[in-house]
Every structure is written in C-alpha cells, then in structure tokens.
Amino acid sequence: MHYARTGLDLTPQTRQTPAFSKVFAMHAYRTHTCGQLRKEHVGQTVRLSGWVNRRRDHGGLIFIDLRDHYGITQCVIEPDAAAFPACDKVRSEWVITLTGKVVERFAEAVNKDLPTGEVEMRIESIAVQSEAPELPLPVFGDLDYPEETRLKYRFLDLRRERLHRNIVLRSKIIQSLRQRMFAQGFTEYQTPILTASSPEGARDFLVPSRRYPGHFYALPQAPQQFKQLIMVAGFDRYFQIAPCFRDEDGRADRSPGEFYQLDMEMSFVTQQDVFDAIQPVLLGCFEEFAEGRKVYQEVPHITYEDAALLYGTDKPDLRNPITICDVSAVFARDDVAFKAFKGKTVRAIPAPGAASQPRSFFDKLNDWARSEGAAGLGYIQLESDGGKIVGKGPIAKFLSDEAMAALVAQAGVQAGDAVFFSADAKTDRAAKIAGLARTRIGTELKLIEENVFKFCWIVDMPMYEWNEDEKRIDFGHNPFSLPQYDTAAFMNLKADSSLNQDDREKILGIKVFQYDIVCNGYEMLSGAVRNRDPEVMLKAFELAGHGRDFTEAKFGGMLNAFRHGAPPHGGCAVGLERVVMLLAGEENIREVTMFPMNQQGQDLLMNAPTEVLPKQLRELHIRVVQPEKG
RNA sequence: GGGGGCGUAGCUCAGUUGGUUAGAGUGUCGGCCUGUCACGCCGAAGGUCGCGGGUUCGAGCCCCGUCGCUCCCGCCA
C-alpha cells in the first residue's frame, strides 16, 4: 500500500470528509514530528517526514533513523513488507515520508540516548520527496570539517546537530532579550538601513545613488545618531535588534561586514540609570541560558585606567585570578643593577605556584613574548630559604635583598610562586604585553575558572587618544559621549598648532561617561551618556582636529536637533552574537550565525560579492577601476 | 597591508632521508547478514598529491612563484 502519494492529491476538504478511512484522512506529510512519539502512541498508525539521518541494513531488516527539526525516530522494515525495495534504495539525507504503526521496543532494544527511544515505527509505506547524492559534508557525526566546505554547503552544515542547536538558541536568546526589554518599559523601533556615510569610525559600506551621480548612501555602522534623534523626538526607552554594517576584516569573535546589536537608548538618565536598566537584562538572560554554569551576580566597576594597569587590557577576563602591578620603582632603585629595565615601565605578572615549573615553561613564555614583539619576558622564581623568600633565575641576582622584599610585597607573591616582568619604554606597550602574558600564564597554569560567567563594567573611558602616526589628537571611542569635565573649562581648551605639552596632557586626560560590559574577556556591551550641547560637541570635534564647518556638514542633522530641545539621554548596545557565542560555548562567531561570510568577507554559498552587469553600473554612474597588480 | 599554520580519494587524515604500484578510516557501489542505533563481515571502484615553474636519474616530500582557506597583527569612533 503506497498511499502517501495519494494523500498529496487530496484537497483539505476531501481529507476531512468522514467517509474516508482514517489513513486517507492523514496529513499528506506528517501526523507527528520525529521527536514526538512515545509509549502512549503505541498502536497508532502515524506518518512522519524528514531526512534519512542514517540507514542500517541488516539484510533481512532495515533501520532508518528519520530526522527533522524536532528529533530522531527509528523506523524499521522487514523484507516481506511491500515498501521494502523502496526503503532499500534510500540513502543519507534523502527526504522521505514514512507511514506505519508505532510499536514498543523490546526491553533490550530501547535506546536511552533518544527521547523517542522506547518506541519505533514499523514502516508500511514510503514516499520519496527528494533524493541526495553522495554528500560533500556528512550531516551525521560530529567531526570537524574545513571552513570552506562548511560555508559552501551551509544548508548541510546547518542540519548538523551542533549548528542547528546554536541557531535555535540564538532565536531563544533574542526572544528572551526582547521580552526583558519590553518588561522594563522599552519599545522597539526601526531605523533606516540606507543612510549617510559618517566620517568617524570604521570603513562604511557604500550604496551608490542612481538619482544623484557621485552620491552614496551608507549602511549604518550602528543606529547611533538615529537613536539619539529618537530621544530628541520625545520617545523614551527605545530598543532594537539592529543590524550593523562595518567594512572591516573578520576575527574569531567578529564577523566581517555585518552583525547584530541589542541597541537601546533612554532619556533623562544618569550613567547609573543605564546600568540599572541593562544589567538585569543581560545577567537575567545569561542566567536563563547558563545550563548549570555559574553567573556571577556581582559586576564590579573598573576604571579604564585600572583595567590597563591590573589586567593590561580594556577587556579583562576576571576568571583569571592574576592581577598585574607596576614595579617600575623597584627596578629604578639604586640597589637594583638590572640595566635592561632602567627608565622603563615595568609590570609584574605573578605566576602562582610556578616556581617549580621546568625551565622549558619559562623559555616557552619568553619565546612567545618575543613573537609578540616584546624584548622578552624576564622572570624570577621565588623559593623559601629558612623562612626567608629568595629569588632564583637570571634576573634575581641583580636585586638586593631589600629590593627583592619590596618586589615580593608589591606583587603579593610568596615562596613557590614565580613572577614575570614586562618592560618597555612605552607604558602602553608594557601594559599590553603584560596583559597578554597574564592570559597566557593563567591558561598555562590552568588558573582560569571554568563554567562560569564573570562580568565587569569598564568605566571612565578617555575621551581622546594620541595618534602617534599623524601626531594629533583623535577620539578615543565614541565622539558623542559626554565629557566628565567642567563645561566652561572645556570650552576654553585649545587644540591648535600652539598645543603645548600641558594642554595636550590635559586634553588626553579628559574622561567621558562611557562604559563597556566585559564578560570572560569579551566586550559584550558598549555605551555612553551622550553629549547634547551643540557648542560642546563642536568643541569636542575641534579638539580632534575637525573644524566647525566639517562638523556642521557631517552632523548637521543631529546638531540642529540638539538646538530644538534635547533631553539628557544615554544608552548602550549589546553585541548579540557575542552573547550567543558565550552561551553556546563557542569560540567562533560563525558557529552562531546562520549564513556567515568567510574572513575575507565572501559569502561562499550565495557567491557575494559579485560582479554586476554593465547596465547596472551605467545606471549608477559608476566605472570600475581595477587595482594595478604589483 | 603584514605574520604563522594548513592544502594528499566525496569527506577526515597518515605518508619515514627524495626511491617499487601514494595508504587508512569513513562514505559510495556490489555481495552476505532479522534487532541495530558509529551495526557487523567480504569485495570493488575512487587520486591533476591546490596550481605553475625549477633542482634531480627520480619530487606528495627540496627550492622559487602563485592561489585558496584559517588564526593572529593592523583595522574595529
């Protein structure tokens, strides 16, 4: 009996006619999903549709594991059944519809790993919906496959359990975030995708205008200006799951081209109000999907400056217990004869319990530091000698007993520990290498706390930073943030060619009400209380080397809005893929993105980017100039 | 733009000092098998060793170039 095909031809009305048998009244494709059948269904005739996950041929007996979005059901057929020859032909990943009776399995044949494992279907008929050739990427099993293959056959990769699970998790997380935002009184609004190019920040994706030759739209790097305009427009508490576009190269935790943010903004708020609004949303979401992993509820506030010193980075991983300290003063002492560190910033990275590590441990770290461009990574091993702590290792002999005692006290180390040193004439270099070493040492010594999420706020970001290449002042982070500075004094700052060292230090020292949330070393969120005073904003850009005309031309819309009644406002944006990545336990953002591009910004499935027809270019007044090949 | 790693069967990989006909697992195809769930057993087919050039009597292996992927640096207000 092959009635599956017959079922296809029945109109819904016919199928409901009582005169038809129960079998003919069945849905054309399925009465249940592949994850649904249990003991209670035993005796029922059911219809399932899905992909052949695996077929096991015992000659006289064929097992077909049928898989759909919901699960896997084992189906079995014996040789005397009419559908046997057809079942014998099916292969992995064919799409089939099976009809048959649900039976209970023998006690020995129960599969405890399968929710449907107490029952199976005795196949009575089969309808082949779609065949598949030998697979370029097996769906069954959990082997790793090359990225190129996975991206080209993304539709197959997405059928695999891990990726399928991650994408569903992503959807659930978005739903959770949305509900939590609504619960906090936020409202979701959309902002344009085709907008204007903005001079600051990353490279824009440009969209040529057909009607205005030589003019371009840009895809938004973030809805930054729009959300501020929404506040000026009198809507309070905006949020959006917003697509953002930046023409930048990829990283493991950063998609090239496009990504999503949970973007939010609120009016009449201080920095603390923003924290109070978003922190429970984020932590609540982590708690909801933690699956037994611990979510630390205390979220310390760490200043940007402290983070640079203690962790050597603005995104510290607090699961690592090591903290860095500055020991420049110890090596500057007259009773310390180590010339290589004199006059430099020296940061100490304690390595708890590492004194007994073999020589190779220290050599390996030193080699690694050199590969990072450091001069090396000096170290001292600390041992106990009759109750007194003494130093061992190449550098130790240059330190007097008193200097050693000072070092031990400052770094908070004890006998049995080692301490590494990162030294550089440039403080930020010394700090950065120390930060990398901290991570490396923590990992090598297995000090990183596992199965936990540890958050911190990074606050008081610097408004500006020194651009060494162009010898000028640049915006450090976001140009729209509110300076933590007396307004009158700010308006009197000078940043022209007469800029002297004092003025420069003063300007580079300005902090803003800008903040990040970092979790396990990943930047999860970034935001600020905004600057809404047009004159202060013009001045802020002036200090970064942009004249009033430039700022008016590029941000005229927003400046104008600020001249017509702008409420105090602030907000932030959460990196959605990073949240999903951490909760899914993945280390690559492609594992939580349905159709990602490769690191070079190509979509290997859809073949983007692609050349277009000459006609299309003509309409857009565009001529392609190929780069010269060297 | 720069650096590291990788590129061998449909897929995952091995391949010694440069030396016979380039192997394994898996998948595919054929045969056997009535309780498997990574089923098992027997057999077969399947290769431009990324591509191009060079050294050599002889290159998957050495050299030069090139392409692709990946990780990192730059970049990411």
Interatomic CA–C1' length for residue A601 and nucleotide B50, angstroms = 21
The per-residue DSSP string of A172-241 comes to: HHHHHHHHHHHHTT-EE----SSB---SSSSPPPEEE-SSSTT-EEE--SSSHHHHHHHHHTT--SEEEE
Strand runs labelled E in A447-512: 452-453, 455-459, 461-462, 464-467, 472-475, 511-512
Hits for CB < 7 Å against strand B across A residues 123-152 = 134-138, 141, 143-149, 151
Out of A65-79, A138-152, A293-307, A444-458, least confident range: A138-152
3-state SS, A59-71, equals: CCCEEEEEEECCE
Mean per-residue pLDDT, A537-556: 91
Q: Which nucleotide is nearest to A475 (CA to C1')?
A: B77
pLDDT-derived band at A256, boundaries 50, 70, 90: confident
Interatomic CA–C1' length for residue A629 and nucleotide B65, angstroms = 15
* pLDDT at residue A25 in the model: 73
């994408």: which residue's tokens? Answer: A167
* pLDDT at residue A18 in the model: 44
* pLDDT at residue A3 in the model: 30
Higher pLDDT, A205 or A498: A205
**pLDDT for A10 beyond 70:** no
A482 burial level (CB within 10 Å; 0-12, 13-18, 19+):
buried
Please tell me which residue lies nearest to nucleotide B72, judged from CA to C1'. A251
Out of A25-34, A197-206, A303-312, A451-460, least confident range: A197-206
* pLDDT at residue A499 in the model: 65
Please tell me which residue lies nearest to nucleotide B32, judged from CA to C1'. A59
Interatomic CA–C1' length for residue A152 and nucleotide B58, angstroms = 39
A376 CB less than 7 Å from any atom of strand B:
no
**pLDDT for A220 beyond 70:** yes
Residue A381: strand pairing partners: A392, A418
Structure ipTM: 0.89
* pLDDT at residue A491 in the model: 92
**pLDDT for A251 beyond 90:** no
DSSP code at position A517: E
Interatomic CA–C1' length for residue A359 and nucleotide B17, angstroms = 32
Out of A3-12, A388-397, A511-520, least confident range: A3-12
Which range has highest mean pLDDT (A15-19, A497-501, A612-616)?
A612-616
pLDDT tens figures, A274-285: 999 999 999 999
Out of A426-435, A564-573, A604-613, least confident range: A604-613
A91 CB less than 7 Å from any atom of strand B:
yes
Q: How far apart are CA A6 and CA A24, in angstroms?
A: 8
Hits for CB < 7 Å against strand B across A residues 573-612 = 588, 590, 598-600, 602
Q: Which nucleotide is nearest to A526 (CA to C1')?
A: B77
Hits for CB < 7 Å against strand B across A residues 258-277 = none
Q: Which residues contact A449 (CB under 8 A, 6 or more apart)?
A: A319, A321
pLDDT-derived band at A14, boundaries 50, 70, 90: very low
* pLDDT at residue A8 in the model: 38
Please tell me which residue lies nearest to nucleotide B28, judged from CA to C1'. A134
Give me the sign of the Cα torsion angle A124, A130, A136, A138: negative
pTM of the model: 0.92
Between the alpha carbon of residue A167 and those of residues A97, A289, A414, the distances in Å are 25, 14, 47
pLDDT-derived band at A530, boundaries 50, 70, 90: very high
Alpha carbon distance, N-terminus to C-terminus of chain A: 69
Cα radius of gyration rounded to whole Å, chain A: 32
Q: Which nucleotide is nearest to A106 (CA to C1')?
A: B35
Q: Which residues contact A115 (CB under 8 A, 6 or more apart)?
A: A35, A71
Q: Which nucleotide is nearest to A200 (CA to C1')?
A: B77
Peptide bond into A243 cis (omega under 30): no
Interatomic CA–C1' length for residue A630 and nucleotide B53, angstroms = 19
How confident is the prediction for chain A on average, in pLDDT?
Answer: 90
Interatomic CA–C1' length for residue A26 and nucleotide B35, angstroms = 29
Q: What are phi and psi of A469, to 5 degrees?
A: -65, -45
Q: Which nucleotides of B are covered by protein (CB under 7 A)?
A: 1, 10-13, 26-29, 32-40, 68-77
**Could you give the residue ranges of the DSSP H alpha helices within A471-533?**
487-491, 501-508
Q: Tokens standing for A356?
A: 């007994």
pLDDT tens figures, A86-144: 999 999 999 999 999 999 999 999 999 999 999 999 999 999 999 988 888 889 887 77
Q: Which residues contact A277 (CB under 8 A, 6 or more apart)?
A: A184, A264, A266, A269
Q: Which residues contact A381 (CB under 8 A, 6 or more apart)?
A: A354, A355, A391, A392, A393, A396, A418
pLDDT-derived band at A628, boundaries 50, 70, 90: low
* pLDDT at residue A7 in the model: 36
pLDDT-derived band at A455, boundaries 50, 70, 90: very high
* pLDDT at residue A24 in the model: 56
Higher pLDDT, A22 or A508: A508
Out of A21-30, A298-307, A403-412, A550-559, least confident range: A21-30
Out of A190-199, A362-371, A534-543, least confident range: A362-371
Mean per-residue pLDDT, A163-174: 95
